[in-house]
Amino acid sequence: MKSIKAQDLHDAVRDMIMDACRILPDDVYGALQRALDEEESESAKEVLAQLIENADLARNTQLALCQDTGVAVFFVDYGEDVTIEGGNLEQVLNDAMVEAYDKGYLRKSMCDPLTRKNTGDNTPAVIHSHVVPGDSLKVKFMAKGGGSENMSRIAMLKPAQGWEGIKDFVVRTMAEAGPNPCPPTVVGVGIGGTFDLAPTLAKQALFRPLGERNTDPRVAAMEEELLAAVNDLGIGPMGLGGKTTSLDVKVEMHPCHIASMPVAVNVQCHSSRTKEVVL
Amino acid sequence: MATYNLTTPLTDEDIVQLKAGDVVNLTGTIYTARDAAHKKLIEALDKGEELPFELEGSVIYYVGPAPAPPGAAIGSAGPTTSGRMDAYAPRLHSLGVKASIGKGKRSQEVRDALQQYKGVYFGATGGAGALLSQRITDSEVIAYDELGPEAIRKLTVQDFPLLVVNDAHGAEQYAKPNYEL
């Protein structure tokens, strides 16, 4: 059994959050640079140049990449041979998040759904945890912005609709989203499972580095086909037209009921802020 | 496509010369308001109360900024999705608001209001909040402090970089997606 001190976990998660909100991951930064090289329209190039300049500025200052520092979303792989000494996982993650959002000058965006009263400290975080074999604790963090999250959709398709139905739903969702989710987007797609699992798969997919394909060659081919189809929409950076509507499409698939075909699209903005820490 | 340097408050003459696709560097005073603040503004209008700022010639920035780090006037401050304010925008334009700043699509009702009352909708680059904050030289909460990031702030901006997305003549700059919706 491995024992991890609650304070060590707290400190690692706090620092990870502050970095994630200021430092654009290298894969995303690189994808923006490649997009800038490939775009031809002036407005598309101007937007991409601004986004790269924004990332450079945020990295070198205490400014957040985007004012919407999001819902704090965690995916945790909790080794079954690990204990947290002096705290429980949910409490430690929330406390670390509160400190990070306060010390890091990050915007607190969580509120009561009806009164719209802000909770004041960005709590509660959204935490997905899974028990896995082993003696390590992996905590993945995503700062999930509201503008892109709002354009996400789920459909319970009929099995007869097949791949064509799935593809149409993904492309239609991104066409309807248009300029709203701050394109170029990253698109997470969850296929299968249940009504609740499909969107979780879609969100999980957003953690995979850009350019890295699904290990299942069949799913990898679907990702390539969807990325090409979404970019054929011509929406472009900030919706002003161009080749780069999405930087990547990630698909996660899971078996489903013989009667069902759940498909979820989780839309992520260009500021695809994720980071992980392993203890 | 032209570039204009404009100073607030904006006039009808400032507005009607602008065409979708033009670039505007805006200097002067603008006011922040997003979802909850708009709801309060409209409630105040319904009750006949005075609003926290003069609407005539005003520019509203749809933003909920991040807190200011030490030494900065404001934290990261990029535009939020404008469509959520569509329900309120026509009424505010009818009372003298000349422009809004945000990102994303506007409803036909808002586009009609821009034509009827001589207004424009400006786009700023979504997610470029750190960069845009550098053009904001002063920030002061003037109303609804209890809303936190959604409070109404009076911002002083210098050469704030904007693109005319919807002009007062019915044109729009967004690309039409290659998909029959």
Q: What is the pLDDT of residues A114-150, one digit of tens each?
A: 999 999 999 999 999 999 999 999 999 999 999 999 9
Q: Is residue A240 part of a domain?
A: yes
**Residues from B in contact with A at Cβ < 8 Å:** 21, 35-36, 63-70, 72, 75-78, 80-81, 83, 103-105, 123, 125-131, 133-134, 147-150, 163, 173-179, 181
Tell me the CATH number of domain B3-166, given options 3.40.50.300, 3.90.730.10, 3.40.50.620, 3.20.130.10.
3.20.130.10
Q: Which two tokens stand for residue A276?
A: 């992980």
pLDDT at residue A41, rounded to an integer = 94
Q: Which two tokens stand for residue A273?
A: 């802020």
List CB contacts (< 8 A) between B123 and chain A. 179, 238, 240
- For the complex shown, is ipTM > 0.90? yes
pLDDT at residue B101, rounded to an integer = 98
Residue of chain B nearest A174, judged by CA positions = B177
For residue B1, pLDDT beyond 90: no
Which positions of B are annotated as active-site residues? 38
Provide the CATH number for the domain around residue A135: 3.30.360
Q: Which two tokens stand for residue A123?
A: 């709590």
pLDDT at residue B181, rounded to an integer = 85
Question: Of A144, A170, A194, which closes a domain?
Answer: A144
% of chain A residues with pLDDT over 70: 100
Residue of chain A nearest B178, judged by CA positions = A233
Q: Which two tokens stand for residue B33?
A: 């308001």
Q: Are B102 and B53 in contact (CB under 8 A)?
A: no
Mean pLDDT in residue range A266-271: 98
pTM reported for the whole predicted model: 0.96
CB count within 10 Å of CB A219 equals: 17
Q: Which two tokens stand for residue B8?
A: 């607030």
Q: Give tens-digit pLDDT for B55-100.
A: 999 999 999 999 999 999 999 999 999 999 999 999 999 999 999 9
Q: Are residues A74 and A187 in the same domain?
A: no
For residue B138, pLDDT beyond 90: yes
**Residue keyed to tokens 């404001």:** B74
Pairwise CB contact (< 8 Å): A54 & B129: yes
DSSP letter, residue A279: -
